Amino acid sequence: MIDKKLDIKHTSRTVKDLKLNALLEITKAINNNVSTAQLLDLYQDILENRLKVGKLVLFSFDKEWTCILKYGIGEDFNHIKFENELLGIKEIETISFSNGNLSKSFEIVIPVYHKQIPLAYVLLGDVNEQKIELSAAIKHLPYIQTLTNIIVVSIENKKLYRQTIQKAQMQKELELAQTMQQMLFPNNLPHTDAIRVAAKYIPHQQVSGDYYDFLPLNIHEYVFCVADVSGKGIAAALLMSNIQATFHSLVNYTHNLKDIIIELNKRVWLNAKGEKFVSLFLGKINTKSKQLTYINSGHNPPILITEDKTMRLTKGCTLLGIAETIPFIDVEIMSINESYTLFCYTDGLTDTVNSSDEYLAEDTVIEIIKKSITSEPEFINDAVMYYADEFKGENLYVDDIALLTIKCA
């Protein structure tokens, strides 16, 4: 009798040592940053070979519920499916629902939660269900729960680490894209007695689909544009970059605005396949002949202000990229023999919303420009954006904003 008690104590101490050593082994593996596959192999070895748990299925959530470990089950479980009844289980319990293969083949479920969010479910059972003695799954249940929590949390930490690395890489790529996009905007805008130009650019995201450009053709002539690609982010920025390259290429061999618009439309149609479109205002200024020539391709009408009148420049054609060919193009040639201010902008400005869900009105923008009409173009841009900042309050800008202000004497 004494020998039997000693055997039981020895066995109990041996199991305790086994469990403690297994925990130390798991801890060491985690500290050594072994792979998820190696962790799962170790977890299976401890449960199957050392504790003699007959069968197990481990489900983990990563976009969807997936079986990441299984053993001790037949071919019927080659394509094991998660059963939604498990989602109602929040504590360790015997499986009581009757539908599906899982409830018929396993005894116990251990849910693993973090802040009320299920991370994993472990289903346990024994191969020989005719045994009279307590099954290993039930006998070692608290230990299995502890071990499972350690394994699942470690796997989740690996996922989070990978996601953090991926986000950091994406952030670096976005920062590089932003730097490259900034390089596409002109650095040196003219500031002479005849013409003074300033621009301002506020991206909604790190990269955007807004674009402005100002190119000298000779000592008297300049061609410029303001454009807005539909949508936001990388896709819009890529299309915008392509437009910029095309625009520069076209200006090298033609100064005819109609020809430039036709070719730009072809490029947008070819690249966007009708899924994106571009609004664009294209203009040409001759400071000697005092002519302003323009085509407005569905863009917010720039505001032209002289001493005695205010005009919105609306003539032109449809948006670029809507069709393979543009049905009509109106080119307006204006002779302006007095000083004027031309304010070009993208719709992010007038899409600005305040706390009362009111939009920033174009008439308000005009009044701000008129009050600053004798100032430099940089000041006009700053005055408009200062008002926009005050107007929106704590709201965020909802879109990219580009401003291009030109003052001609």
pLDDT of residue 295: 97
Q: What is the pLDDT of residue 128?
A: 54
pLDDT digits (tens, 9 = 90+) for 23-66: 888 889 888 888 889 999 999 999 989 988 888 999 998 888 98
In three-state form (DSSP H/G/I as H, E/B as E, the rest C), the secondary structure along 221-253 is EEEEEEEEECCCHHHHHHHHHHHHHHHHHHHCC
Better-predicted residue by pLDDT, 374 or 204 = 374
Would you place residue 269 in the very low, low, confident or very high pLDDT band (cuts 50, 70, 90)?
Answer: very high
**Where are the chain's structural domains?**
2-163, 178-408
Residue 274, φ and ψ in degrees, nearest 5: 80, 0
Q: What is the pLDDT of residue 22?
A: 85
Q: Residue 174: its pLDDT value, please?
A: 56
If one compares 283 and 91, the residue with the highest pLDDT of the two is: 283
User: How does pLDDT run across 63-118, given as a tens digit for each residue?
Assistant: 889 899 999 887 666 677 888 888 888 888 887 766 666 777 788 889 998 888 89
Nearest-angstrom CA–CA distance, 37 and 154 = 12
3-class SS letters over 63-118:
CEEEEEEEECCCHHHCCCCCCHHHHHCCCCEECCCCCHHHHHHCCEEEEEEECCEE
**What gap in Å lies between CA 58 and CA 71, rounded to an integer?**
10
Kindly indicate the confidence band of residue 366, based on its pLDDT and cuts at 50, 70 and 90: very high
Give the residue carrying structure tokens 């015997």: 94
pLDDT at 3 over 60: no
pLDDT tens column, 133-142: 557 667 788 8
pLDDT digits over 162-212, tens only? 777 777 666 665 565 556 556 667 878 999 999 999 999 887 765 667 889
pLDDT at position 276 is 86
pTM: 0.62
Which whole-number Å values give the CA distances from 367 to 267, 303, 341, in the listed order? 38, 11, 13
Q: Which single residue is written with the structure tokens 């009362």? A: 356
Distance CA 226, CA 351 (A): 17
- CATH topology for 2-163? Beta-Lactamase (3.30.450)
**Orientation of helix 141-184 relative to helix 233-251, angle to 10°:** 20
In this prediction, what percent of the chain has a pLDDT beyond 70? 86
In this prediction, residue 180 carries a pLDDT of 59
Mean pLDDT of 277-306: 96
Spatial separation of the C-alpha atoms in residues 337 and 309, rounded to whole Å: 13
Render pLDDT for 302-341 as a digit per residue (tens, 0 to 9).
999 998 899 999 999 999 999 999 999 999 999 999 999 9
The whole-chain average pLDDT of the chain stands at 85
Question: Would you call 298 helix, strand, or coil by DSSP?
Answer: coil
Architecture of the CATH domain 178-408: 4-Layer Sandwich (3.60)
